[in-house]
Structure 1
Amino acid sequence: MATQEGGSGVPAGGEADVTDEVADLFRALGRQIKVARARAGMSQKELGDRPRSGEETISSVERGRRTPQPELLRTVDELLECGGLLAAAAEDAERARARRRVRHPEWFRDYARLERDAVEINFYNNHDIPGLLQTERRARALYEMRKPLLDEETIEHRVTSRMGRQEILTSWPPPMVSAVIEETVLRRPLGGREVHGEQLEQLLKLGQLRNVELQVMPTDRSEHAGMGGAFVLLTPKGKAQLGYTEAQNSSRLITDPEEVRILAARYGSIRGQALTMRESLSLIENLLGER
């Protein structure tokens, strides 16, 4: 399937109204931040440097083009001495963010629906960290470096959608999630050192969850069962396990029992060749300390 943004209309049920209301709230918060920043005599760069969010983020939030995160609102409220005005809106912003229409690209929607109902998800990634485990800043950086370029609205929708998927990690009952990530991926500072450091910290935090098992495939292995590329094994509730692959603007759901069996056997070999979970978390801690 071609990886193009879906062109379907808004379903019935008031989604368009919800989306408009959310956008209006974010624009209003952006204007309040801009006024408070100007009153404090602070530039967008100066403000962006303080909460470590960056000038571009502040600019986009002030224009209502980017979702203001609750943590950012609380930090900016304190920095600009807003007397709790922005901090009080943090919970409203979080609820509005949850209500915003999740709009996956059309080619990804079948997988996203299955993922929501999954009882088990297994990832092998050879060039990136699974989207389900990414930080928001890393996800945004990845979309911003896409070629051809994506417009800001598309980036914002896709980041929001990716972050929305992560709710299944803490839902109840949560799916069992395992992931094998290449060591080279953990050493490549995509998005910059700071963004990469946050991502490593996120992996350490996720690795402590009872339903998440992380392993690292070290670069010094002389045998590697995953040379055929990245894939996902997914088991929806009450249904047979299936596979999923993405490569060069195409995606494929694999339902043939024999193909799925081969992927499952391959994944077992990959896990056997990777570091143990304890060794993997120790390696991530060491990488974080080397920054």
Structure 2
Amino acid sequence: MGEVFLPGNHRYLGNQFMMWRQEAGMTREEVAEAVGYSAEMVRSVEQGRRACPPRMAEIADELFGARGKLKAGLSYLTREKFPARTRDYIRHEAESVSIWSYECVLIPGLLQTEEYAQALIGGRCPAMDEETVAERVAARMERKQLFTRKPPVEFSFVIYEAALRTPMGGAAVHKRQLLQLLEVGSLRNVALQVLPFSRVLSGALSGSLVILETRDHVRMSLAEGQQVSLLTSDSNEVHVMTESYAKFRMEAFNAEESAQFIQRLVDEL
């Protein structure tokens, strides 16, 4: 995805931090020791790649003799809605005209209910504070606006059976999640298919993938794994992902069969 930079207000505070440090005649290493963070963290803050922690700004303000001018910038900072590794993808997703998504272990984020997302995000390790969890869940729900955007986005989802059988959040949450899939799958601009255990391909077990097309007709692919996301517009990579998705979709139940399969899962609960 390349280097990720924070919004302008974060970068501005980082630049101010650097200027005050230089005026105080201190090195990053000296500041790092005083504020209790690494020198690399100080560098990242100054370069706008990491948000300045409030504690760092407060200690540095006194250290640099800024007389409140540095820490005053904390009130203008905005918290990021999405993890750094997914921000580029989210930006392109918001401007897409088509999205093809394959998921092997979880319900795709765009299809998740709030309860399901809460259970998923809130259960991650290491644990996040409640405010961050709530913000991440709300941001995920905001993405659903794509389903009603005009002009409409064309969606294709293929979901491996394992993801549909995992009761994330418990039986009641699981049932409501399956019912939501049936509801969204009935939309005219959405094709939702189930890849059953009996038809799985080896490549389908390697991880999730997304292929999107932007308004400028640029195709991009996203491959995800444990704490890793790779977004690319490289034509060779996109071609490989597109071929894989085509195979998964071909082996999956058609839309009608998929809806019937999901309904049977609902009836079992």
Same fold (TM over 0.5): yes
**1:1-291 matches, cutoff 5 A:** 8=7, 10=9, 103-221=81-199, 223-291=201-269
Any stretches of 5+ residues in structure 1 without a counterpart?
A: 12-99
Q: Which AA in structure 2 matches 1:119?
A: V
Deviation at 1:224, TM superposition (A): 4.5
Q: Which AA in structure 1 matches 2:135?
A: H
1:254–1:260 contact (8 Å) kept in structure 2: yes
Distance 1:104 1:111 in 2: 10
Q: Which AA in structure 2 matches 1:154?
A: T
Distance 1:265 1:128 in 2: 22
2:104–2:160 contact (8 Å) kept in structure 1: yes
Structure 1 segments of 4+ aligned residues over 6 angstroms from their partners:
none
Distance 1:135 1:149 in 2: 21
- RMSD value over aligned CA atoms? 2.3
Distance 1:171 1:205 in 2: 17
Find the residue that maps to 2:199 and give its secondary structure.
coil
Distance 1:254 1:210 in 2: 29
Instruction: Flag the 1:156–1:262 CA change in 2: closer, same or farther, 3 A.
Output: same
1:224–1:270 contact (8 Å) kept in structure 2: no
Residue in 2 aligned with 1:87?
A: none
Distance 2:190 2:122 in 1: 28
Distance 2:112 2:156 in 1: 14
Find the residue that maps to 2:213 and give its secondary structure.
strand
Identity %: 40
* TM-score calculated relative to the size of structure 2: 0.70
Distance 1:222 1:118 in 2: 29
How many residues align? The count is 202
Please say which structure displays the higher CA radius of gyration: 2
2:193–2:254 contact (8 Å) kept in structure 1: yes
Distance 2:175 2:250 in 1: 27
Find the residue that maps to 1:220 and give its secondary structure.
helix
2:207–2:224 contact (8 Å) kept in structure 1: no
* TM-score calculated relative to the size of structure 1: 0.65
Distance 1:10 1:144 in 2: 28
Q: Which AA in structure 1 matches 2:194?
A: V
Distance 1:140 1:7 in 2: 25
Q: Which moved more, 1:137-146 or 1:220-229?
A: 220-229
